Amino acid sequence: MEVNKKPSMEDIVSLCKRRGFVFQGSEIYGGLGGTWDYGPLGVQLRYNIQQKWWKMFVSEREDIFPVSTAILMNPNVWKATGHVGGFNDPMVEDLKTKKRYRADHLLEENNIDPKGMNVSDMDKIIKERKLLSQDKNALGDVRQFNMMFQTQTGAASDDSSTVYLRPETAQGMFVNFKNVLDTFHPKLPFGIAQIGKAFRNEIAPGNFIFRLRELEQMEMEYFVHPDKWEESFNEMLELQKKFLLSLGLSEEKIHFVEIGETDRAHYSKRSVDTEFDFPIGQKELGGLAYRTDHDLSSHSKSSGVDLVYFDEETKTKVVPHCVEPTFGVERMVLAVLSDAYKEDVDEKGETRIFLKLNKDLAPNKFAVFPLLKNKPELTKKAREVFLTLKKEIGNVVYDDNANIGKRYRRQDEIGTPYCVTIDFETLENDTVTIRDRDTGEQKRIKIDEIKDYLIV
């Protein structure tokens, strides 16, 4: 019987560590805030999610051109886009401990909605209401804090060598607009897409892999004729929905939220955020923004290179507008894990935890066991079956540790859809038992039929 338990963030963190999905970054040195490392199962889950995005947003379509661009970019990129002056978060400092807080988060914690407020509005409210830090100390003025990480190129470390770790993958696509146009000659509308790392010096990283300093984005810049942006905006919103449902996420936990003018990013004329019911509440998972010609026009002006599209039909030049669907990889991993986390109680009254992952997302598709570890004829046959499946499918695991019940529990917790057991009957007629993760049901099937289970 499935128990309708909403997992807490602690449940997810504990499972991720216990079973090798996600570890604290640089753990043996006490960690580094906002960084996490992926273990063998986490890396496979991430990859499976990325592959699904890639298929739906890139390889299934003929109008999308994938790129993979450098993390370090000419600093003029970030001056042109307004990130050097404007990629800020409102920050307030505890005057005693010097600990820094996001001013908008502090207001939310005090049941004040910061939507639509600028820095001076937040400053005024914090002072009027005499709000204190989490350590109950007085707070300083609210200031803007630029979130871009800076580093230096070359040996000299002066202002002229300052470069930034990209805070979004998007600009790699905008600066390659002309390259794609000149080499592939696409017609509008067309998109440039990539999956890649981005870096943000978050004031308060936290909530496990939700708010990070090093993250990965799956982004597409879809270039459209300025008169047709609404059509493409709606198409991309539909595509985002289709993608989320294809991951098996519960529809009722997905929310599309129209963002008001004052809360939109500086470049956006319309934004619809995708929010999800995470264990920490309804929060942003992705977004869709109508970036107009903001980026191409800013880069044309700043670089002196004409970033225009020549419309053969009307024989006119046009600066395309851009619609941008984006998702964070780690937030998607968290959404998938927290949605799949289930508990049930068996006939003996024992609770089991299992990950009800879609088969195509599960890190391992099959686990193969010999019924008994100390019978060479069983282990020999089990290894044979395992190695054949491993060659054909790849993500298959062999387990002969402890008793069969414990092996089932282990595989359930990592979301393996099927466990295959080799027993004495296998030696006689080449049949095995196959157990379903979600129902616990077991069937006897032929060895040849095992891999059909992936398409059922």
- Chain residues in the site for ligand GAP (CB under 6 A): 168, 170, 200, 202, 211-212, 215, 217, 219, 284-287, 324, 326-328, 330-331
State in angstroms the smallest separation of the CB of 294 from ligand GAP.
12
In the bound state with ligand GAP, the residue whose beta carbon lies nearer, of 79 and 409, is 79
Q: Shortest approach of ligand GAP to residue 168 CB, angstroms?
A: 3
H or E segment to which residue 413 belongs: helix 404-413
Note the Cα 29 to chain centre separation in Å: 26
Residue 196 or 286 with smaller CB distance to ligand GAP = 286
CA distance 411 to 302: 55
Q: Between residues 44 and 268, which has the closer beta carbon with respect to ligand GAP?
A: 268
Nearer to ligand GAP, 7 or 286 (CB): 286
Which is it for strands 366-370 and 396-398: parallel, antiparallel or unpaired? parallel
What residues contact residue 421 under an 8 Å CB cut-off, 6+ apart?
369, 370, 371, 404, 432, 433, 434, 435
Q: Are 226 and 293 in contact (CB under 8 A)?
A: yes
Q: Give the torsion sign (CA, 43, 46, 49, 52).
A: negative
Residue whose CB is less far from ligand GAP, 163 or 332: 332
Question: What minimum distance in Å lies between the beta carbon of 191 and ligand GAP?
Answer: 13
Centroid of chain to Cα 89: 21
Q: What is the nearest approach in angstroms of ligand GAP to the Cβ of residue 280?
A: 13
Q: Nearest approach, Cβ of 59 to ligand GAP (angstroms)? A: 21
Give the amino acid at 382: A
Q: How far is the CB of 442 from ligand GAP (least distance, A)?
A: 40
As to burial, measured by CB atoms within 10 angstroms (0-12 exposed, 13-18 middle, 19+ buried), residue 186 is middle
Nearest residue (CB) to ligand GAP, 321 versus 435: 321
Task: Compare residues 194 and 433 and give the one whose CB is closer to ligand GAP.
Answer: 194
Distance CA(162)–CA(156), nearest Å, equals: 10
Residue nearest to ligand GAP (CB): 328
- The CA distance from 237 to 242, in Å, is 9
Minimum distance from residue 376 beta carbon to ligand GAP (Å):
50
